[in-house]
Amino acid sequence: MNITGNTIFIPGGTRGIGLALATRLQAKGNTVIIGGRSAAALDALAAEHGFATVRIDTMDPDSITAASAEVIQRFPEVNVLVPMAGIMRAEDWRSPGFLQDAEETVITNVLGPIRLIAAFTEHLQSLPGATIVTVASGLAHVPLRVTPTYNATKAAVHRLSETIRLQFAGTSVSVLELVPPSVQTELMPGHDTDPHAMPLDEYADEAMALLESQPDAHEIQVERVKFLRYAEVRGDYDQVLAILNATDPIAATPVPAR
Ligand SMILES: NC(=O)c1ccc[n+]([C@@H]2O[C@H](COP(=O)([O-])OP(=O)(O)OC[C@H]3O[C@@H](n4cnc5c(N)ncnc54)[C@H](OP(=O)(O)O)[C@@H]3O)[C@@H](O)[C@H]2O)c1
Is the pLDDT at 254 greater than 90, yes or no?
Answer: no
| 133 bridge partner residues | 176
Q: Give 86 Cα–ligand 1 centroid separation in angstroms.
A: 4
Question: Which value, to the nearest 10 degrees, does the dihedral of the CA atoms of residues 25, 31, 32, 33 take?
Answer: -170
Alpha helices (runs of H) in the chain, residue ranges in sequence order: 16-27, 39-49, 61-74, 99-106, 112-125, 148-168, 200-213, 226-229, 231-234, 237-244
Residue 253 pLDDT: 58
Q: Give 88 Cα–ligand 1 centroid separation in angstroms.
A: 8
Q: Give 257 Cα–ligand 1 centroid separation in angstroms.
A: 31
Output the pTM of the full model. Answer: 0.96
Q: What's the rounded mean pLDDT across residues 111-135?
A: 98
The structural domains of the chain, with segments of one domain joined by +, span: 7-252
Q: Is 194 in the pocket of ligand 1 (CB under 6 A)?
A: no
**Does the structural domain 7-252 have CATH classification 3.40.50.720?**
yes
Residue 248 pLDDT: 60
By annotation, the residues acting in catalysis are: 150
Is the pLDDT at 2 greater than 60, yes or no?
Answer: yes
| 81 bridge partner residues | 9, 132
The model's confidence at residue 187, banded by pLDDT at 50, 70 and 90, is very high
Residue 255 pLDDT: 54
* Phi, psi angles (nearest 5°) of residue 98: -75, -15
Q: Is 186 in the pocket of ligand 1 (CB under 6 A)?
A: yes
Q: What's the rounded mean pLDDT across residues 110-116?
A: 99
pLDDT digits (tens, 9 = 90+) for 211-238: 999 999 999 999 999 999 999 999 999 9
Is the pLDDT at 258 greater than 80, yes or no?
Answer: no
